[in-house]
Amino acid sequence: MSRVPLPYTAKVLDLFRNPKNLGKMEDATVVAVAGNPACGDMVTFYLKISDQEVIEKATFESYGCAANIATSSIVTEIIKGLTLKAAWEDITWKKVTEEVGGLPSIKFHCGVLAVGALKRAIRLYFEKKGAAPEWLPKDHTFEEKQALEEEELAKMLSKRLKTAEEEKK
């Protein structure tokens, strides 16, 4: 069966083929792994944060699709030099989708995962510090809710698998 290729923009395809800031960061200040409940893919974000709470460097590893690689790549580029507050407030999945020239609607969740992983990393930074600033909402944002922690994702997937097995019986 031949598949119809997804209508990705030239920018998405270019970032997919030549992603920026791809790979592990050994001296990261914080590392966050997030999984996507819609497709089961995972992404890891590494942030190097200065004492002034500025993002000096960001890298990522993705086990997701082209849309996730492209959006994760663009996130690591645009957050460089931003304060954690600015990164938290300015980076949304809609903005990231625009930055890559748009995504097919069935791929929106891939950009949501990239932003969710970033937000989880920022939240984790303050959790480790033991002091949250007043601009950080107590409730998880839409993107964080859509980007599950590794354990939550594993639980959800095994539940889904069990249900599928039950249905086969």
Site for ligand FES in 88-107 (CB under 6 A): 107
Question: Which of 21, 68 has the CB closer to ligand FES?
Answer: 68
72, containing H or E segment: helix 66-78
Contact status: 116 vs ligand FES (CB under 6 A): no
How far the first Cα of the chain sits from its last, in Å, is: 28
State residue 61 phi and psi, 5-degree precision.
-130, 135
Number of residues this chain uses to bind ligand FES (CB under 6 A): 10
Contact status: 65 vs ligand FES (CB under 6 A): yes
Backbone dihedral region for residue 109 (phi beyond 0: left; psi -120 to 50: alpha; all else: beta):
alpha
CA angle at 58 for the pair 70 and 128, rounded to the nearest 5°: 125
CB 154 to ligand FES: min, Å: 16
Among 49, 96, 110, 118, binds ligand FES (CB under 6 A): 110
What are the residues whose beta carbons fall under 8 Å from the beta carbon of 22, sequence distance 6 or more? 59, 60, 61, 62, 69, 73
Contact status: 13 vs ligand FES (CB under 6 A): no
Among 113, 118, 121, 153, binds ligand FES (CB under 6 A): 113
Among 19, 25, 32, 41, binds ligand FES (CB under 6 A): 41
Q: 3-state class of 104 per DSSP?
A: coil
Contact 93, 111 (CB under 8 A): yes
Contact status: 31 vs ligand FES (CB under 6 A): no
Among 15, 33, 67, 112, binds ligand FES (CB under 6 A): 67
Rounded to 10 deg, the angle between the 66-78 and 108-129 helix axes is: 50
Among 68, 72, 97, 146, binds ligand FES (CB under 6 A): 68
Interface residues with ligand FES (CB under 6 A)? 36, 39, 41, 64-65, 67-68, 107, 110, 113
